[in-house]
């Protein structure tokens, strides 16, 4: 589920970048699509189409971003060593008394 949503999110991001670059630039900076679509549409109708497409893609980008954030926050596995419970502490074992030295045996 997360992988599919992430792929859709990336496709929307790429489409959004492409649509933004197709729009006519007001200041002459990076706008690629200056003359419309070769007479297929008028300048005004292509601007309206690109503006609406940008708005829909931006809304989709925001929705997928929020869904990915919600999915990431609901993971059940602890992600930090501080989130894991500490093991129970047991009393230290008392050492056994040292063995008495043995006397050497003569042959």
The pLDDT assigned to 53 comes to 93
The pLDDT assigned to 78 comes to 61
The pLDDT assigned to 90 comes to 77
Distance CA 17, CA 76 (A): 35
pLDDT > 80? residue 41: no
Q: For the chain, how far is it from start to end, CA to CA, in angstroms?
A: 83
Burial 16-41 (b: 16+ CB within 10 A, else e): beebbebbeeeeeeeeeeeeeeeeee
Full-model pTM = 0.56
Give the whole-number percent of the chain exceeding pLDDT 90. Answer: 36
What residue ranges do the domains of the chain occupy? 2-25+33-73
What does the block give as tokens for 61? 């980008």
Mean pLDDT, residues 54-79 taken together? 89
Least trusted range by pLDDT, from 23-37, 57-71, 91-105: 23-37
């Amino acid at each position: 589920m997360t992988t599919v949503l992430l792929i859709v999110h990336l496709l929307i991001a790429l489409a959004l970048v492409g649509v933004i670059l197709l729009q006519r630039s007001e200041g002459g900076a990076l706008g690629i699509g200056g003359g419309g679509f070769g007479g297929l549409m008028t300048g005004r109708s292509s601007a309206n189409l690109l503006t609406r497409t940008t708005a829909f893609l931006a809304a989709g980008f925001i929705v997928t971003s929020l869904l990915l954030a919600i999915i990431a926050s609901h993971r059940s596995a602890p992600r930090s060593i501080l989130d894991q419970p500490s093991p129970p502490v047991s009393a230290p074992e008392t050492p056994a008394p040292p063995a008495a030295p043995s006397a050497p045996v003569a042959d």
